[in-house]
Structure 1
Amino acid sequence: MNTIPARLDHIVVATPDLAATVAEFSRRTGVAPAPGGVHVGLGTRNHLVGLGHGAYLEIIGPDPEQPTPPQARPFGTDLLTSARTISWAISPPDLDATVAAARARGYDTGDVREMSRRRPDGTVLRWRLTDGGSPHPSGLVPFLIDWGATPHPSASDLPVVRLLELTATAPTPDEIHPVLTALGTGLTLTEGPAAFSFTVDTPNGPVTFD
């Protein structure tokens, strides 16, 4: 069984305390995530780790150097009390066509919108992604991303912990499989409370995060 989803772009770990979560990841794995950049106006910043397979891990949390934004911060970081794996993204070969195909099969990915962040060296990266639309209530269905002309984060000089598997539990896995198929991907699902789990190969041996 393939436990790495097709077209995986990145896994998102959201946290209310970015510095503490980055330090804990470093302690457990022996690998220090690299500063990614600032989401200007959204009140967040991130750190990144390569996962191999052309994918990466994003650890995102509130940016103490930005003012509190007027809207909620991305990925519900304002409501979290601890770090957790909150979402994942896939990168289809044609984002707009995949959105149209999913809608034709009854799943609304949400509209495509422009995003950006500023790297520590001042470079502004731009990409397009789906905004969630009417997301599946499980929270386990990925959003879609297209990096366009921007170099993919995994192609930069990131520290790497190779992804061994990404899996999830869901109250009714059979309801999620058709949506994943419509998006051209899959996810190993077993029955249980909605939650993610991923395991990476590290200098300290395999380490699992929830």
Structure 2
Amino acid sequence: MKIGIMGGTFDPIHTGHLLAAETVREALGLDEVWFMPAHVPPHKAEAGFSGEERLRMVELAIGSQSAFRTLDIELRRGGVSYTVDTMSELTGKYPDARFHFIIGTDMVNYLPRWNRIGELASLTRFAAVGRGGYELHAEDLAPEVKNKIDYCDMPQLEISSTDIRRRLREGRTIRYLVPDKVHDYLQRSGTHAAYARTTD
């Protein structure tokens, strides 16, 4: 099977995440895309929502797409969520799968800084989803990394979790920025207050 891995904090998951996953699924002919909320990503502060809440929002967001599923191994492992550790675990557990780790094109320039990037590139390919406004320097990447990147064009959506958190703190609507079921979850649970603790 060809499996896409969509990692991230998902704080909260939004429409852009879903579009990126679907774009890569179609472009690369993936059988499934697994959404994997991080416990604590190396490059970000701790999330506003708990891991359990973020996992629940992901489950609600992807429920209508049968090719999408959730994966909680980084939440269960705890600590800082290094991608190389996760992919090592996944390739050991699913030796017949071919993995494609989904990133934004804005992250391509930062791949040399990722923990044990050479080892990571031996475990997975990277699917870089097109995002505007970034100058790529793929020529600066080591060949063993550069040759493992597939580029996928994607319609541009100016949506970010940072902006969604800001809107929540300001009491503004986030309808249509997040899937309807995520919006309803936030309304029902009264968890807007979690975003008063800024994670920017």
Same fold at TM > 0.5:
no
The answer to which structure has the higher helix fraction is 2
Question: Which is richer in strand?
Answer: 1
Q: TM-score range by the shorter chain?
A: under 0.3
